[in-house]
Structure 1
Amino acid sequence: MPASRRKEWSMNTPLACLAAAVAATFAVLPGAAHAMTDARLAEVVRERLLGDRTGACMAVAVVEKDRVARVYECANARDAGRIGPDVAFEIGSVSKTMTAALLAQLIEQGKGSLDDTLAAWLPEGTKVPDYQGQPILLRHVVTHTSGLPALPSRLGAKSMDNPYANLDEAALLASLGDAKLVAAPGAKFEYSNFASMLLSYAVARRAGTDFESLARRELFVPLGMDHAYINQRPAGVRAATGHTPNAQATSAWDFTTNLAGVGGVRATLDDMVRYAQGGLGMIDVPIAASLEATHAAVSGQPPMGMNWMRVPMKDRTVLMHEGGTGGFSAFVSLDPQRQRGVVILSDTAWHSIGSLGSLGMHLVDDSLPLGKPRRAVAADAALLQALAGEYQLQGAMKMTLRERDGRLFIQAEGQGEYEMGHDDAGDFYPLALDAVLRPQRKSDGSYAFTWTQMGAVIPAVRIDRAAAQAPVLSPAQLSAYVGDYPLAPGFSLAVREHGGALQAQATGQGAFPLAAASADTFEAPAFGIEIRFHRDGAGKVQSLELHQGGQVLRGTRQ
């Protein structure tokens, strides 16, 4: 199946789905964080996980000042032996927050500054791109605004199952010579594992040791993270086996040691509890000030500290980061004001189905919806018939969907056919692959879909039927839609006319173009978004509905 157009090999970007991102803003609603017990935490996790079609297992903790609640749960009780206190999980991009702490410590020691150029931390003579003389600074790297692409050009991946295994330091640095910036550093948020690997390498180089030794000396040992490691597994630690969300075991991910700060840390639940306690200032260690320094605001769009997302709540800010590799997902949050942390480690990759945000956000603040398990169910026959047809993936290959014996089959051009399962969230998924097909019913009753695989979300449009002619609107006609549309408290969609077209921008996110699809309907296919505007009796645009991923958000024009 297609691997083209992948933005990155996961380790997890911040939320890009507007309908998912708005969930975080609901935390402005009243909702106290209640003291958590092991028993209560087990109830919550089971409610979200039991019977989930992924078959995932999770290690979950809620950290509070005077207690820690822990639980180990699996979607299927028979799998309980897969995890336990001695099992280390790949934490993916949560590793980036540790790299940030090590950078902050070097800065505290007078060995650098966030305003240093990236080039100054790399070997002399390394070719580093700039934009019209404007260099990449370290502050751009830790806020994903460097302008570097998601992946290095010389990645050398031989398998999607272990994509970073063949990348060494020389190839990483050589990839800089291939990169070109299209905007000034700091101008645009674009998640970059490439930049984060460079930072990992640079921090180890400036510290004068390898990254694993540095992390062990300054973080793992002082915090009591006795079982955390990168490539040198301590005695008595079991390495968890990762799984794809269709319950298939998959290989571990490997990183060259000095590049592993991008996503190569492995840790047990108790290790991550100690990390959260350190980040909340509950453990008196030399690196405590540096851990705290990573929380301070460095960039505003979206709000970020040093590799931490700063998520606004009603009267406070919560630090968060998710992580994902080929077979694992992780979620960590720190709420300094409430002195509360949340850790979720899963031996299953959840990024193609919404990551761990639903459970994680609910544990951050129980006024947020918990979500429910995804259960395999038969798809409606009418839906299968409506989806059957020929489609074109944007920037990639053609795909054919076929209905046969009450099941859906998919075949990419030049490849074999795969049977699809279907879950009660409305998604289809290949039984033999880690991917998701999410149908989108358009305002005219026809269907398109988005294909999610290997971190990329690719829109698909139907090509076996004549498409309706899209309207051509003048700037004056487009101006009728311009306005601010609050979708939730503290979360709004701004619609603007720019260069003869509409664009939209959600609170704390970048602007994206809208294309006219039909009367009062616009689309952003790359994000699977359809926006339907509604008019009042006088014909004036009054409100909109944002349709994405099976969710609908509504806002009245201001």
Structure 2
Amino acid sequence: MAALSAFPFKRQRMQATSMMVRNGRWFSCFVLSVALLAAGCTGKNVPAKDPGADIDEVAATLIAQPLLHSTSIGVVYRGQEFIRHRGDMEAGKPGPPTDATLYEIGSLSKTLAGTLMAKAVLERKVSLDDDVRRYLPGDYPNLQYQGAPIRIRHLLSHTGGLPNMLPEQANTVLEDFTDQRTPRELNAIYARYGKADFFRDLHAVGIGQAPGKDYAYSSTGTELVAHVLETVYKSDYESLLRGFFRDSAAMADLKIRLGDADVPRLAVGYHSDNAVPTTPMPQLPWGASGNVKATVPEMMKYLKFQLAGGPVVTESHRALVKFDSEFSIGYFWNIISGDRQKGTYYAHHGGVPRSQCYIYIVPKYDLGIFVITNQSGDHTARAMETAIDTLVERIAAREDAGGQGQSR
């Protein structure tokens, strides 16, 4: 629940990914369909006068999809920056999102946690091969399989065999994500669920096979990463998060928990086909797996930080598990290789019951894309992925034509 990536239908797509990429069809597997939006199937591959015009067109097409009220798109392309806000946050009420709007970015939060862990590894605070029990309070003989323990690298690559969510009751609720009762039931589960409850439930987890072999998406593992970081740095996770990205990427407006002054800035959002706005996602024990909030300008800084490289980013992009020649996982990043148009790129999906988003880092074009909507349903991810694919096609056509356009 910490992100739509943790919901069952998304989890099944991800688990199937490594099989499908062998046939060169990762994209179609990931979105369950090869259907294209109108903007992407009209053959309009001739570059517009500048990339901003392409983004305008893609944004307009995206919010024309059923149930999508609004979108914000941020693009960094060879040093040029573009932000577009389109549509109305609330149906029937004029009011587009703005640069000040705080969005719930769901499981994109995981890539931030992965970056912090990459820093810890480079600083030798943590080893990727450490047994996670080294950092846990108390004894956890259950966190191993026939003597093979869950290691830090397994948490980062979703190969530890841990459940998607703790408590396990949340996974049952998420089996029918689109049910209109889902947000309310999740809120009830997490209303008073803290770190002590998490560690209590962790004692009951069973590991059914040797860690490190199979993909099983786990927000539980990301929450454990946050605990490990708190342990080695002797500071709370949100302070670590905000301090590092403020100093390294000038991101001064990242938040996990909101103060009273920030609440009015939080984006309104809709769950599935419910016409009534739903509540924000509940707070998880650490929040590393899906509670980060950010504005689009902050995410632009994150795109630039990722594209600039540097030791920490380079480490976070390093493949920790290679499922086949085309699909790997780094420090929570999905790494896709062999795509003719995109080259090797890094991607992650995020979502909560009232928003979904994507981030793509495409080094081939010095390109970063962040797309977010304030609606979360079965078809939202597909619409956003198609929008991103259309943008990349336009960028590729621009480069083939030998022009990069001018920012505006």
| Match of residue 28 from structure 2 | 22
- Tell me the CA shift for residue 11 of structure 1: 11
Aligned in 2, Cα 1:354/1:67: closer, same or farther, shift over 3 Å? closer
- Tell me the CA shift for residue 214 of structure 1: 0.6
Aligned pairs for 1:158-557 within 5 A: 159-162=184-187, 163-233=189-259, 238-246=265-273, 247-256=275-284, 259-281=286-308, 288-301=310-323, 302-312=327-337, 313-314=339-340, 316-351=343-378, 353-355=380-382, 356-366=384-394
Q: Tell whether the 8 Å contact from 2:162 to 2:207 is kept in structure 1 after alignment.
A: yes
Aligned in 2, Cα 1:211/1:364: closer, same or farther, shift over 3 Å? farther
Query: C-alpha separation between the residues in 2 aligned to 1:228 and 1:14?
Result: 30
Q: Tell whether the 8 Å contact from 1:63 to 1:277 is kept in structure 2 after alignment.
A: yes
The match for 2:81 among 68, 74, 99 is 68
Aligned in 2, Cα 1:7/1:234: closer, same or farther, shift over 3 Å? closer
Query: C-alpha separation between the residues in 2 aligned to 1:173 and 1:215?
Result: 22
* Number of equivalent positions: 353
- Tell me the CA shift for residue 235 of structure 1: 5.2
Aligned in 2, Cα 1:54/1:159: closer, same or farther, shift over 3 Å? same
The match for 2:144 among 124, 130, 137 is 130
Q: Tell whether the 8 Å contact from 2:148 to 2:210 is kept in structure 1 after alignment.
A: yes
Query: C-alpha separation between the residues in 2 aligned to 1:116 and 1:294?
Result: 17
| Structure with more of its chain in helix, by fraction | 2
1:40 aligns with 2:61: no
Q: Which has the higher contact order (CA 8 A, sep 6+)?
A: 2
The match for 1:101 among 115, 118, 135 is 115
Aligned in 2, Cα 1:280/1:366: closer, same or farther, shift over 3 Å? same
Query: C-alpha separation between the residues in 2 aligned to 1:188 and 1:122?
Result: 24
Greater Rg over alpha carbons, structure: 1
| Match of residue 141 from structure 1 | 155
Aligned in 2, Cα 1:44/1:55: closer, same or farther, shift over 3 Å? closer
Query: C-alpha separation between the residues in 2 aligned to 1:205 and 1:144?
Result: 21
1:110 aligns with 2:132: no
1:90 aligns with 2:104: yes
Q: Tell whether the 8 Å contact from 2:223 to 2:286 is kept in structure 1 after alignment.
A: yes
Deviations 1:107-127 (A, max 9, x none): 111111111111112224345
- Tell me the CA shift for residue 176 of structure 1: 1.9
Query: C-alpha separation between the residues in 2 aligned to 1:34 and 1:342?
Result: 18
- Tell me the CA shift for residue 233 of structure 1: 4.2
Aligned in 2, Cα 1:10/1:34: closer, same or farther, shift over 3 Å? farther
CA RMSD of aligned residues (A): 3.3
Counterpart AA for 2:355: F
Q: Give 3-state SS (helix, strand or coil) of 2:185's partner.
A: coil
- Tell me the CA shift for residue 9 of structure 1: 4.7
Deviations 1:338-371 (A, max 9, x none): 2100001211114455443222233234499xxx
Deviations 1:186-231 (A, max 9, x none): 1111111111211122222222111111111001453222322110
Counterpart AA for 1:61: G
Aligned pairs for 1:47-58 within 5 A: 47-50=61-64, 52-58=65-71
Q: Tell whether the 8 Å contact from 1:100 to 1:294 is kept in structure 2 after alignment.
A: yes
Q: Give 3-state SS (helix, strand or coil) of 1:310's partner.
A: strand
Q: Give 3-state SS (helix, strand or coil) of 1:261's partner.
A: coil
Aligned in 2, Cα 1:234/1:343: closer, same or farther, shift over 3 Å? farther
Under a length normalisation based on structure 1, what TM-score does the superposition of the two structures give? 0.57
| Match of residue 423 from structure 1 | none
Aligned in 2, Cα 1:186/1:337: closer, same or farther, shift over 3 Å? same
Query: C-alpha separation between the residues in 2 aligned to 1:13 and 1:88?
Result: 26
Unaligned 5+ segments in structure 1 are: 283-287, 369-558
Query: C-alpha separation between the residues in 1 aligned to 2:46 and 2:208?
Result: 45
Q: Tell whether the 8 Å contact from 1:12 to 1:351 is kept in structure 2 after alignment.
A: no
Aligned in 2, Cα 1:72/1:114: closer, same or farther, shift over 3 Å? same
Counterpart AA for 1:298: L
Unaligned 5+ segments in structure 2 are: 35-44, 174-182, 397-408
Q: Tell whether the 8 Å contact from 1:165 to 1:253 is kept in structure 2 after alignment.
A: no
Query: C-alpha separation between the residues in 1 aligned to 2:354 and 2:119?
Result: 31
Q: Tell whether the 8 Å contact from 1:134 to 1:184 is kept in structure 2 after alignment.
A: yes
Q: Give 3-state SS (helix, strand or coil) of 1:222's partner.
A: helix
Q: Percent identity?
A: 22
| Structure with more of its chain in strand, by fraction | 1
Q: Give 3-state SS (helix, strand or coil) of 1:58's partner.
A: strand
